[in-house]
Amino acid sequence: MIKVIGFDLDNTLYNQELFEFEIFRQISTIVAENFKIDDSQYLKTLIALYHKGEKDYIFDKAAITVNYALPIQWDQFIVKNILPLYRSFKPNSIYLYENKENTLNYLKTKDYKLVLITNGNSNIQNNKINALNIRKYFDLILISDDFEPKRRKPDTFMFESALNHFNVKPHEMIFVGDDLISDKASELIGISFININDFSLKKIGEESEL
């Protein structure tokens, strides 16, 4: 019998692109104000790199692509301006995927315990959670970077922490996510994984589908 249902956050409950592209627009404006770099070209480059999956050092890569070299004092600019902005950014344009709010509301009316398990910077993830207004649905929220050292999935630490918190066995919990490496790692300790694209209430023994 399932007692605990876990959810990933990014690209499981909402479209992460909405967050990234909103902050990319602000960053592009600041870059243009401080360096002779066209903001529209810089933004287009950031989005193209994101779509290619080149997310590490993405602001540097975009600057090199548009400007052919990193501007003088770029590193200090990133540390003092861009990273603090990114980490403190409070999004206005993100929202839950269709029917996810109905699903969370429904599950809260049942006896299930809900846990959110997400990778990422603590400030960034908390700002997303607040913007989506979903904190109220979860009995437990685990963010990888709240721990020292950081315990990012596919590390199974947060899955194990959820089992211990609710005092349940692995077969009494399922985890819903989008990543077939980090999220599916739940199966390493016996927690069934359900891809968000396949998730329905029938998967957990409920008759109705939302």
Q: Residue 123, SS3?
A: helix
Last residue of a domain, one of 88, 113, 132: 88
Judge whether residue 123 has pLDDT over 80: yes
47 and 78 co-located in one domain: yes
Is there a domain that residue 196 lies in? yes
193 and 152 co-located in one domain: yes
Judge whether residue 210 has pLDDT over 70: no
pLDDT digit string (tens) for 76-97?
999 999 999 999 999 999 999 9
| Bridge partner residues of 192 (DSSP) | 174
Tell me the residue range of the domain where 48 lies.
16-88
Is there a domain that residue 147 lies in? yes
Judge whether residue 201 has pLDDT over 80: no
Residue type, 119: N
109 and 190 co-located in one domain: yes
114 and 167 co-located in one domain: yes
Using pLDDT thresholds of 50, 70 and 90, give the confidence band for residue 111.
confident
Report the CATH number that the domain containing residue 136 is assigned in CATH.
Answer: 3.40.50.1000
Using pLDDT thresholds of 50, 70 and 90, give the confidence band for residue 204.
confident
Is there a domain that residue 209 lies in? no
Is there a domain that residue 210 lies in? no
Instruction: Report the domain count for the chain.
Output: 2
32 and 110 co-located in one domain: no
- Within 13 Å and on the Cβ side, how many CA atoms surround 60? 12
pLDDT digit string (tens) for 41-64?
999 999 999 999 999 999 999 999
Angle at 197 between CA 54 and CA 190, to 5 degrees: 90
75 and 120 co-located in one domain: no
Contact 39, 28 (CB under 8 A): yes
Using pLDDT thresholds of 50, 70 and 90, give the confidence band for residue 200.
confident
List of residues 6+ apart from 197 with CB closer than 8 A: 178
